[in-house]
Amino acid sequence: MQPKIKDVARLAGVSVTTVSRVLNGEKYVKDDLKHKVNLAIEELGYAPSHIARSLVRNKTNLIGVIVPDITSSFYATILSSIEEAASANDYNLLVCNISEDIDKEYKYLNVFQEMRVEGIIIMHEKINEEIRNLIHKMKIPVIFSSVKPMDQQFVSVIVDDYKAAYDATTYLIELGHEEIGFIGGDMRDITSGQNRYSGYRNALTSKGIRIIHEHIRFGDYKVKSGYAQMKELLRVSQRPTAVFAVSDDMAVGAMNCIRDHNLRVPEDISVIGFDGSQLTELTRPTLTSMEQPIHEMGKETMRLLLHQVETGEEPSGDLVLDHRLVARESCIPRKK
């Protein structure tokens, strides 16, 4: 059993109030008493109970985070910068990795409420009716990071996914490509699904390029589905000379598929990804990608959330960060 404040008080020969005062760095405690108390704390190895403190202060310093897949480099990186910002502000993170399991998310949101977390960060946008209602009912500040769900009331920290996809596609067009394959995300996702798809389409049509239905495929953002969808694209009679995948993971899958079919990236097919994750530098050729400011995204998410937690003011709207195309080796001009 851990020592309590009472034990410290007894050993130091003072009241619990005095101990509490020392603990909380208040003045109005004589130096010699303060010294005695610290000695007692040291001797007992006492650490004040955060539980008891939370109860009386009505403050837990806990933030709940829901990650769709922690083994993905993109989410892991956001999470690490969220953790960094939390720690710097003396908040602690309760982490839930839902791995596509909606029930688990529901369960965890309940846990968050029971734990009285002061804020919640969610990194996916597959929010169903039930979850949406629960979130609203909980009345705990929530910020979405890297995604924007349907509900307009939710605040997000994102890039302009439409524009970013538009720019990525335009880059390929400017390299001379016209048959541009697209490996999209889940069309139930607004940001990563729909918006990126629209960006791709509009970039093509605005340059007067005809959209080829067979060049459009959809995956689940993971390496394997990038591979599988690329396989389909290679089957099309009019093979694309470039491919835009809406996640770096899928882009890597696509590159591997191309290579496994004895074609070369970028000589035969250029590939551009999306996210700017660590993977971009690991592959050979290195992967050209539409970079999201991942680190900043995590940091800003936490900043917005903590501001709301501590002031009660809701953010006035989404925070849209700048995307940036980072050209590497996987895209070259179309061969004449």
The site for DNA (CB under 7 A) is made up of 1, 4-6, 14-21, 23-24, 28-30, 33, 48-49, 51-53, 55-58
**φ/ψ of residue 128, rounded to 5:** -85, 175
Size, binding site for a second copy by CB under 8 A? 53
* Shortest separation between residue 299's beta carbon and a second copy, angstroms: 14
135 binds a second copy, rule: CB under 8 A: no
80 binds a second copy, rule: CB under 8 A: yes
What is the DSSP track for 115-139? TT-SEEEE------HHHHHHHHHHT
* CA 1 to each of CA 6, 44, 45, 201: distance values in angstroms, whole numbers, following the listed order: 13, 11, 12, 64
Residue 269 CA to residue 256 CA, distance in Å, equals 12
Binding residue for a second copy (CB under 8 A) from 15, 17, 92, 205?
92
Choose between 174 and 281: whose C-beta lies nearer to a second copy. Answer: 281
Binding residue for a second copy (CB under 8 A) from 39, 55, 211, 327?
55
* Shortest separation between residue 10's beta carbon and DNA, angstroms: 11
- Which among 326, 192, 183 is positioned nearest to 253, based on CA atoms? 183
Choose between 16 and 94: whose C-beta lies nearer to DNA. Answer: 16
* CA 311 to each of CA 45, 118, 213, 306, 314: distance values in angstroms, whole numbers, following the listed order: 35, 12, 50, 8, 9
Q: Which H or E element spans position 256?
A: helix 248-260
Q: Which amino acid is at 107?
A: K
51 binds a second copy, rule: CB under 8 A: yes
Choose between 11 and 123: whose C-beta lies nearer to DNA. Answer: 11
Using only the alpha carbons of the chain, give its radius of gyration: 26
Choose between 93 and 115: whose C-beta lies nearer to DNA. Answer: 115
* Shortest separation between residue 209's beta carbon and a second copy, angstroms: 31
280 binds a second copy, rule: CB under 8 A: no
Choose between 282 and 327: whose C-beta lies nearer to a second copy. Answer: 282
Cβ-contact 263, 233 below 8 angstroms: no
Residue 99, binding choice from a second copy, DNA, none, Cβ under 5 to 8 Å by partner class: a second copy
